[in-house]
Amino acid sequence: MNQPIGITAIASVSPLGTGLENTWKHYLNQDHYLKQIEVGGSREWVASLPEGLRKEIELLRGTNSKYEALDNSVLYALFAGRAAILQAGWNDEDSFGVNIGSSRGATSLFEKFHQEFIATGKSPTLSSPTTTLGNIASWVGHDLGTKGPVISHSITCSTALHALLNGIAWIKGGLSEKFLVGGSESPLTPFTIAQMKALKIYSNGNGAYPCRALDPENDRNTMVLGEAASMACLQKGITAKTLALIEGMGYATEPLEHNVSLSSEADCFQSSMKMAMGGLRAEEIDIIVTHSPGTIKGDRSELNAIQKIFGDYCPALSCNKWKIGHTFGASGMLSIEMAILMLQHQKFIGVPYLKNSIRPKKIDRILVNAVGFGGNAVSILLKRPDGNLD
């Protein structure tokens, strides 16, 4: 029997805090969680964890002497991973797999160690093991005591959804019954923000919404970086804990014309959305949670791709980067979390500055998009587990 694969639990740490109830409460308001801080001698917009949650992360760091040397990206993943496993009711006897990725990895530590090397010509003993890309997933696997496979990867901003694809493949291949998948990112450092500014895509807006992600009328780049980790528990079959079923998945990569290029009609998104939808009609998709990084080209190309696929009918469109910033490798799973919350509460969460006339009365299916530099697109179709969908 070809059993469906469901998301049994999902947990995150983000600028909205942590916990599904708390996160949903913050999605219901029209406030953004961006703020300006001093970075490299100038004031820059960022989306950081709230102070109370940051203190909880530091308490976690202090529970194990080995954790004291770890980058925030690892600690965020540990915190979210523990919460997801607790919510799912898994334990170390389940021998679940772990696939957690990151676009940039141990950003703060890498920059710190490099500065020390430039100043002294020497590198600390732990500089290598604490900054390798596999550092995040391996520490989460160790912390949770799993005996299953532990995998890391980086596929830029679609990393978390590629982790989900990989977890599904392991389960469908009969190699594992359960998988913890997600992404973690802690990129709020001077060098990282300087890189985004060098690309001329970073926000310097002073309006009500410094990031205008998904706004088709926006004529300037308004991307803002955020920090977060988000983890989902995948499991074969439907249980009482199943939050959403993965009905479809799609992926595509388009040829590079430039290091950060995406075609004007996002050919990769057209392919990934078609694959994820399978034989479904456009009208059967209620909502699309878009990638929409807040850049002119990125947002418009995705909207063009949606127009190509859906034509005259367009599902309700939403995103969360205007509220919590772009969290790179973690962003796709945060979009999955937002989609699951809309399925659970049967309420559409829109973008306050958009004129979106479509407000679905019933939410059964949500398509979630993510893409990274180089056109590595993923689309995931979620279905409400108790929906009467023949």
Render pLDDT for 268-301 as a digit per residue (tens, 0 to 9).
Answer: 999 999 999 999 999 999 999 999 999 999 999 9
The alpha carbon dihedral of 377, 324, 334, 90 has a sign of positive
| Cα distances (angstroms) measured from residue 90 to each of 158, 177, 180, 276, 288 | 26, 12, 10, 28, 30
> Quick check: 172 pLDDT over 80?
yes
Q: How far apart are CA 32 and CA 88, in angstroms?
A: 30
Q: Where in the chain is the domain with CATH 3.40.47.10?
A: 5-236, 247-383
CATH 3.40.47.10 describes domain 247-383: yes
Domain 5-236 superfamily per CATH: Thiolase/Chalcone synthase (3.40.47.10)
- What residue has token string 């970086």? 225
* Burial class of residue 376 (count of CB atoms within 10 Å of its CB; 0-12, 13-18, 19+): buried
pLDDT interval class at 61 (50, 70, 90) = very high
pLDDT tens-digit map of 327-378: 999 999 999 999 999 999 999 999 999 976 678 989 999 999 999 877 899 9
> Quick check: 390 pLDDT over 60?
no
Q: Give the side-chain half-sphere CA count within 13 A for 325.
A: 30
Q: What is the pLDDT of residue 357?
A: 63
Q: What is the pLDDT of residue 389?
A: 43
pLDDT interval class at 388 (50, 70, 90) = very low
| Mean pLDDT confidence for 124-137 | 91
> Quick check: 109 pLDDT over 90?
yes
pLDDT tens-digit map of 197-244: 999 999 998 889 999 999 998 899 999 999 999 999 999 989 999 999
Q: What is the pLDDT of residue 95?
A: 87
**CB-based contact 368:164 (threshold 8 Å):** no
In terms of pLDDT, which residue wins out, 21 or 259?
21
pLDDT tens-digit map of 158-171: 999 999 999 999 99
Amino acid at the residue 174: G
What pTM does this model have?
0.96
Give the rounded percent of residues in the chain with a pLDDT score beyond 90.
86
Q: What is the pLDDT of residue 261?
A: 58
pLDDT interval class at 1 (50, 70, 90) = very low
